[in-house]
Amino acid sequence: MTSLPTIHLNGTSREMLLEGYDAAYRKLLKFRRAFREIEFNARDYYVAEPDAWSKACQEREEIQNKINCVIDYLEAHLVHLAE
The tally of domains found in the chain comes to: 1
Q: Which residues, at least 6 apart from 73, have a Cβ–Cβ distance to it below 8 Å?
A: 2
Residue 82 lies in a domain: yes
Dihedral sign for Cα 47, 53, 54, 55, please: positive
Residue 75 lies in a domain: yes
Give me the domain span that covers residue 60: 51-83
Provide the residue-wise pLDDT of the chain in tens; the chain has 83 residues.
Answer: 889 999 999 999 999 999 999 999 999 999 999 999 999 999 999 888 989 999 999 999 999 999 999 999 999 999 999 98
Residue 59 lies in a domain: yes
Residue 35 lies in a domain: no
What is the Cβ-side half-sphere exposure of residue 75, based on CA atoms within 13 angstroms? 8
Residue 29 lies in a domain: no
Inter-residue contact 63 to 35 (CB < 8 Å): yes
Residue 8 lies in a domain: no
